[in-house]
Amino acid sequence: MVAISALRHRLYHFLFDQRTRTGRRFEALCGLFALLSVIVIFIESGIGTTYHLTFDEWHAFMLLEVGFTLMFTLEYLLRVCCWPQPARYVFSFWGFIDLATILPLYVILLWPEIGVEYLFAWRAMRVIRVLRILKLLRLMPALNSLWSAIVNSRHQLILFYAFIGIVMVVAGALMYGIEGPVNGFTTLSTSVYWAIVTVTTVGYGDITPHTAPGRTVASILILIGYSVIAIPTGIITAQMTSEFQKRRHERVCPHCKQRDHDPKARYCNGCGTALPRELGA
């Protein structure tokens, strides 16, 4: 029993601990396979729309998919077995992603007609498998800066998105009243969709104002809304900058306690002592 526990512990350190070289390599390998798998799904989707797949082609893609699924199933089982607290992994974001992206194949094997019967199910399976790309995020610990920038400014961000939401609803309702269903503003929600597409300057052009008052209101809305909608962008950027500076400030020389080292510095420029590796870099 102790032996198994020790083995699990050792395996965890060998395969999943990001502080060991083997752990980082195993993660990179999983990421590489996730990337390859997603590229295969994209090619399959591209060919499958242009030509009808021949049986041989379909066979080849099926085989590849079986291979990838087996690999990711193995990875999932290893993670469940080795994790210090398996339940925590299983119910975490990564646990769900790792499980969900191996399920489609098993669903097809258990219920082979589903893809033929329901076109939506066929598409949904492809979409779920594409989520494997998210595994690559594990290779980017530096994104923690972005994440903590968003978390730290969540009050401001929620406030601004709520404010933008209210402005969009009012602007959409106004245009719905002015232009009306004749000019494409069929429902209130369509008008709000138009307002979001317009003020963010996406401007598809599928719905556009056609009357003179509608165009006037739209012009004013664009000019003013445009100056306000960039505020969340500004908040995230400012928070990220201060996050980077804080991180830099937190890296202290263990010998002379000097701060503010260059992010790429390996040795303290005051006393020459080796600096600790930066967190999340």
Q: Write out the binding residues for a copy of itself, residues 21-80 only, by CB under 8 A.
A: 38, 41-42, 45-46, 48-49
Q: What CA–CA distances, in Å, run from 240 to 150, 156, 233, 247, 260?
A: 8, 14, 11, 10, 17
Phi then psi for residue 263, to 5 deg, are: -60, -25
The alpha carbon dihedral of 191, 192, 197, 201 has a sign of: positive
Q: Which is nearer to a copy of itself, 222 or 252 (CB)?
A: 222
Compute the radius of gyration of the chain from its Cα atoms.
Answer: 26
CA angle 154, 262, 19 (to 5 degrees): 70
Binding to a copy of itself in span 202-231, by CB under 8 A:
202-206, 208, 212, 215-216, 218-219, 222-223, 226-231
Q: Whole-number minimum distance, CB 104 to a copy of itself, in Å?
A: 12
Token output for 82? 């080795």
What is the distance, to the nearest Å, from the Cα of residue 156 to the centroid of all Cα atoms in its chain? 22
Token output for 128? 């779920």
Q: Whole-number minimum distance, CB 170 to a copy of itself, in Å?
A: 6
Residue 18 interacting with a copy of itself (CB under 8 A): no
Binding to a copy of itself in span 104-163, by CB under 8 A:
119-120, 123-124, 126-127, 130-131, 133-134, 136-137, 140, 142-143, 146, 156, 159, 161-163
Q: Which is nearer to a copy of itself, 76 or 193 (CB)?
A: 193
Binding to a copy of itself in span 161-190, by CB under 8 A:
161-164, 166, 169-170, 173-174, 176-177, 180-181, 186-190
